[in-house]
Structure 1
Amino acid sequence: MYYLGIDLGGTNVAAAVVDEEGVILGKASLPTPRDVPAYQVADQMAAASAAAVEKTGLSMADIASVGIGSPGTIEPDTGVIRYWSNLDFRNVPLASLVEERLHKDIYLENDANAAALGEFAAGAAKGSSSMVAITLGTGIGGGAVLGGKLYTGFNYAGMEVGHFVIEHGGRQCTCGRKGCFEAYCSATALIKRTRQVMEEHRDSKLWELAGTLEGVNGRTPFDAAALGDAAGGMIIDEYVDYLGCGVASLVNIFQPEVFCIGGGPSAQGETLMAPVRYILNREDYARNSVHRTRLVRAALGNDAGIIGAALLPLFR
């Protein structure tokens, strides 16, 4: 069986043909149209899909179904995007629009949930019975697969893990709350904190690496810390402490077989994972149990969402 996955992003529409094992056989990407009606976005999704299928040497007749991963507030049962600010989507029946163009059964899911499913089915958590995944990006996305099924909450708004509070009355979050996990551990938060520390430590190697405040990226404090820079080390120690706190709290809620971390900062590998694992080993309520959650780095990178979207019908 062959499945088609579509990753609808604010910048690009990516489509891929995937087999039952989650292996990508052909992939294509096109720019996401901006400031156009939703049907034109669906046109581009269909074009990317056709290009991906063509690369495999298959035809659309060989495709069993199509899955879509999209940001925003999603209703999987109706195939409607209730709200997505990036494209100003409000109550868009995206599944129906794509079905009219591809003439296939369409499955729609939140992109973070699709990415978690991709890691569960074909990535770092393959073969496990349950997993929780977080992605450290512009915000913090999250997803969970429990008992082989995606957990989404009764209203499909579950697993907004970026918005549980890890410091009461703490940093202001874009959601309106204060002290959210996202306000401390997203890549955006890491960059913002690095800039603050740079202004406080003008002699830091952070300036040599970034050049300007605008030149800071998620690697900057890690690179500075590796050079022995005290300010860089302080940023990373603080970041790891908060990340470990959030991970341990989520593990204590779900006790999944696998906990998976993805996103830009996870590219640091064991430089990040080892100290977070140390905190988890100290703060996991089940730390004395024979069966412990395994903390791993995401394996599929940017392909997680497209693979998970393609395999949605296998986990419904």
Structure 2
Amino acid sequence: MKYLGIDLGGTNVAAAVVDEEGAVLGKVSLPTPRGVEAVADQMAAASRAAVEAAGLSMDDIASVGIGSPGAIDPENGVVKFWSNLDFRNVPLAEMMSRRLGKEIYLENDANAAALGEYAAGAGKGSQSLVLVTLGTGVGSGAVLNGKLYTGFNYAGMEAGHMVIEHGGRPCTCGRRGCFEAYCSATALIKRTREVMEEDPNSLLWKLAGSPEEVNGRTPFDAAAQGDAAAGRVIDEYVDYLGCGIASLVNLFQPEVVCIGGGPSAQGETLMAPVRYILNREDYARNNLHRTRLVRASLGNDAGIIGAALLPLFR
């Protein structure tokens, strides 16, 4: 069987045909327009182009899955709210079914990415997985005992808004001390800029040039060259990340936790110290069977693969 996945983003709409193992057979990406009908038309155009790129026809496609940002009602196929494109109660599954003539599955994009890593990436062959993505925010999703976990109201697994520092930094969600406020790539960049202002002699200035030019690699690069200020930024970041990961492990004890997003590109520079914290703070640290902490492996394809395979895990 062949399945079509669509990854709806604020910048691009990507569509891909995948097989039952999650292998991508054809993929196309188009710019995301504005307006609900225009977005649906573009998603349909990307879908047909991806099918053509795979050397297939729409008759070969069993179903279509969509990963969308925002608050999603997957049972009714509705995007309840997505601020970037001002989507409010958009019946996206119905709109795409009319355009493509296929059964449509809709899911939150972070949940779709977790499913992709579980089915075809870092968690392939496992029974349970939690994905944490470090980007503009902290995204997360979980597959437990082979089923995508979303909560009874489809709003579950917002690990980015789990508090790890009571009364701490303000978060965009309205709480204080959230995981996202400390461990997103955005938070890492913000903290790096603060430390630069505190230490005008830091190597961070030489590498970045100005606070505005700081990116997620800057503190890692400076710390690798022995800069003390950057070292403090990284040590603090790792401590908070380890705290959040250990809490998720203690809640779910999944077989695999995988970390994706920009900072995960640092590989073992990031993973090894976080693993050290997990080994110290995992409640099940004395058990024979332990959670494996690994990097996500599918990159930007995780969401599109997971969306395509939604019918296999519902």
TM-score band by shorter chain is: over 0.9
1:241 aligned partner = 239
Q: What pairs with 1:205-284 in structure 2 (closer than 5 Å)? A: 205-284=203-282
SS at match of 1:296: strand
Q: 1:225-265: per-residue Cα shift (whole Å, max 9, x none)? A: 00100011110000000000000000000000001100000
SS at match of 1:3: strand
Query: What is the deviation of 1:40?
Result: 1.2
1:138 aligned partner = 136
5+ residue gaps in structure 2? Answer: none
Return the letter of the residue paired with 2:17. V
Query: What is the deviation of 1:56?
Result: 1.0
Query: What is the deviation of 1:221?
Result: 0.2
- Of 96, 121, 127, the residue aligned with 1:98 is 96
SS at match of 2:111: helix
The 1-side partners of 2:205 and 2:93 are apart by 48
Query: What is the deviation of 1:11?
Result: 0.2
Return the letter of the residue paired with 1:24. V
Counting aligned pairs with the same residue, the percent is 82
Query: What is the deviation of 1:150?
Result: 0.4
2:126 aligned partner = 128
Matched pairs, number? 314
- Of 135, 148, 154, the residue aligned with 2:146 is 148
Mapped pair 1:297 → 2:298? no
Is 50-59 or 114-123 further displaced after alignment? 50-59
Return the letter of the residue paired with 2:7. D
The 2-side partners of 1:183 and 1:57 are apart by 45
SS at match of 1:182: helix
SS at match of 1:256: coil
- Of 96, 108, 114, the residue aligned with 2:106 is 108
Q: CA RMSD in A?
A: 0.4
Q: 1:39-89: per-residue Cα shift (whole Å, max 9, x none)? A: 111000000001111111100110000000000000000000000000000
The 2-side partners of 1:210 and 1:156 are apart by 41
Return the letter of the residue paired with 2:20. E
1:59 aligned partner = 57
Return the letter of the residue paired with 2:108. N
Return the letter of the residue paired with 2:31. P
2:177 aligned partner = 179
2:284 aligned partner = 286
SS at match of 1:115: helix
SS at match of 1:10: coil
The 1-side partners of 2:267 and 2:31 are apart by 30
1:195 aligned partner = 193
2:12 aligned partner = 12
Return the letter of the residue paired with 1:28. V
- Of 41, 44, 68, the residue aligned with 1:43 is 41
The 2-side partners of 1:10 and 1:214 are apart by 23
The 2-side partners of 1:79 and 1:207 are apart by 48
SS at match of 2:62: strand
Q: 1:175-195: per-residue Cα shift (whole Å, max 9, x none)? A: 000000000000000000000
SS at match of 1:246: helix
The 2-side partners of 1:12 and 1:40 are apart by 13
Query: What is the deviation of 1:217?
Result: 0.4
Query: What is the deviation of 1:126?
Result: 0.2
Superposed structure 1 runs of 4+ greater than 6 Å apart:
none
SS at match of 2:63: strand
SS at match of 1:68: strand
The 2-side partners of 1:53 and 1:248 are apart by 42
Query: What is the deviation of 1:13?
Result: 0.1
